[in-house]
Amino acid sequence: KVENAPEAIALNFINAYYFNLLEGIDDSNWFEAQPLTDNFKKVYRNQEKAIKISEQILEGKKVSKADRRFVEKYSVDYSPIFGAAILDLETDSVFAVESYDKKTGIVTLKDEKTEIELPVKVVNVKGKWLIEGAGTVNISN
């Protein structure tokens, strides 16, 4: 159903993304092919980079002031999108659609095992549904 497009896009992306994380698959081609806004991709990559810089700081390596500022702006715990919730998810966690708010564009996904909820923001760009935010990426708390 076309009316379910926003929910389906959110659900398919998050479940596939989580599977890839669990399997240790870092597939940039897959990521690039996903229905994501450029802004989402940019913030996601910045979070990945900030996590790497944070690890260098924790290891006692020298990082530039610019890198420290970058980390302050983009750093998230453990993982982009899931943040610290990644620690509480099960290996067989699967998300389902809990709700969709047409006004805000937020699709709330819920893991049926742990009941952890994950917001995904969808936007319609030129007739296509794209993900603008998910979890720690572009979603204001």
Place of tokens 């076309």: 2
- pLDDT-above-70 percentage for the chain: 96
What is the phi-psi region of residue 110: left when phi exceeds 0, alpha when psi lies from -120 to 50, beta otherwise? Answer: beta
pTM (two decimals): 0.89
pLDDT confidence band for 25 (50 / 70 / 90) = confident
DSSP letter at 97 equals: E
pLDDT confidence band for 2 (50 / 70 / 90) = very low
**Structural tokens at position 70:** 């970058």
What is the rounded average pLDDT for all residues in the chain?
92
pLDDT at 53: 95
- Which 3-state string (H, E, C) describes 59-72? CCCCCCHHHHHHHH
pLDDT confidence band for 4 (50 / 70 / 90) = low
* Whether residue 93 has pLDDT greater than 90: yes
Q: How far apart are CA 4 and CA 97, in angstroms?
A: 10
Of 89, 71, 84, the C-alpha closest to 135 is 84
Q: How far apart are CA 139 and CA 136, in angstroms?
A: 6
Residue 7 Cα distances to 10, 22, 45, 66, 89, angstroms: 5, 23, 24, 38, 21
pLDDT at 14: 96
